[in-house]
Amino acid sequence: MAPVKEASGMTLAQLYDLSGKVAVVTGGAKGIGQGIARRLAEAGASVLVVDIDAEGAQATAAGIADGGGTASSAVADLSTADGASAAVSTAVERYGRIDILVNNAGIYPMTPCLDLSEEVWDRTLDLNLKGLFFASQAAARAMSSAGHGGSIVNIASVDAFKPIGNLVHYDASKGGVVMLTKSLAKELGPIGIRVNAIAPGAIATAGTEASIPPDLPADALAMMEQLNNAMPLRRGGEPDDIARVTVFLASPAAEYMTGSTVVVDGGMLQI
């Protein structure tokens, strides 16, 4: 069993200090993943930015390095067990260990359920759920073999609790992420590995805009606009809203949290 380091007695700065830690961020080329990678590096972690988009991953890593952080990139198909495991192996080879895994990679092609194809269903579940598990398994094995604990943060979605429509495949995958988080937390807690999730609401990214098909039914578009206007905090989310919570969950400040899903949605679920 990995020893658990008590956070009591630490200063606030020490609680959020990730110096000496190695983090892997999947889907880190842009959007939420990019924001998370930047904040983890700012907190002192060495970050491996993993994405199928080689150019985007390299750009994110280069931006972190230009800002004084430590980062590199790797290309992996995170929809396969081999690709997900390879991402973790690359971090261990380059930095000697892994302490933090952020499972952020995911897709959300909006499609009405009556038009949903098997290909889109499989592609979504493979990346959003299957790959997330095998990356987590590989990270947990590496942490356990090295004799230390760690933190796994899964990016779920408020759609796991309240579907907005035309995303039945995505909603199923994110509902699975919430339960997978609980299951992994129960099994991995005794060896010092914490597993938590974040459920973002509507976060403004280039990927979000690209996922909306131009022929989406008018009623769906109207519903999305209505949701934005009714947000209690009167604004949409930004990637950094999720990144800051990720740093918290990965840090000693959250050492007594595992199996939790933190909703970061500006009050979207209150509508």
Listing DSSP states for 188-232 in one string gives HGGGTEEEEEEEE-SB--HHHHHHS-TT--HHHHHHHHHHHHT-T
Confirm whether 2 is domain-assigned. no
- Is 129 a member of any domain? yes
State the pLDDT at residue 216.
57
In a domain, 267, yes or no: no
Q: What is the pLDDT of residues 108-133, one digit of tens each?
A: 999 999 999 999 999 999 999 999 99
Cβ-in-10-Å burial (0-12, 13-18, 19+) of 147 comes to exposed
Domain membership flag for residue 42: yes
pLDDT of residue 99: 99
Please check whether residue 5 lies inside any domain of the structure.
no
What pLDDT is recorded for position 205? 77
pLDDT per residue of the chain (271 residues) written in tens, 0 to 9: 554 556 778 999 999 999 999 999 999 999 999 999 999 999 999 999 999 999 999 999 999 999 999 999 999 999 999 999 999 999 999 999 999 999 999 999 999 999 999 999 999 999 999 999 999 999 999 999 999 999 999 999 999 999 989 999 999 999 999 999 999 999 999 999 999 999 999 998 765 555 555 565 566 566 667 767 888 998 889 999 999 999 999 999 999 999 999 999 999 999 8
Using the CB atoms, write b or e for 36-51: b if 16+ within 10 Å: bbbbbbbbbbbbbbbb
**Residue 187 domain boundaries:** 12-259
What is the pLDDT at residue 189? 98
In-domain check, residue 171: yes
d(CA 201, CA 246): 15
State the CB neighbour count (10 A cutoff) for residue 230: 12
Rounded to an integer, what distance in angstroms lies between the CA atom of residue 71 and that of residue 186?
A: 31
| 147 domain-assigned | yes
CATH number for the domain spanning 158: value is: 3.40.50.720
User: According to the model, what pLDDT value does residue 8 have?
Assistant: 73
**What pLDDT sits at residue 230?**
84
Q: How many independent structural domains does the chain possess?
A: 1
> In angstroms, rounded to a whole number, what is the distance separating the alpha carbons of residues 70 and 62?
9
Q: Which residues are catalytic?
A: 157, 170, 174
Q: Which residues pair with 151 in a beta bridge?
A: 100, 194
208 is a domain residue: yes
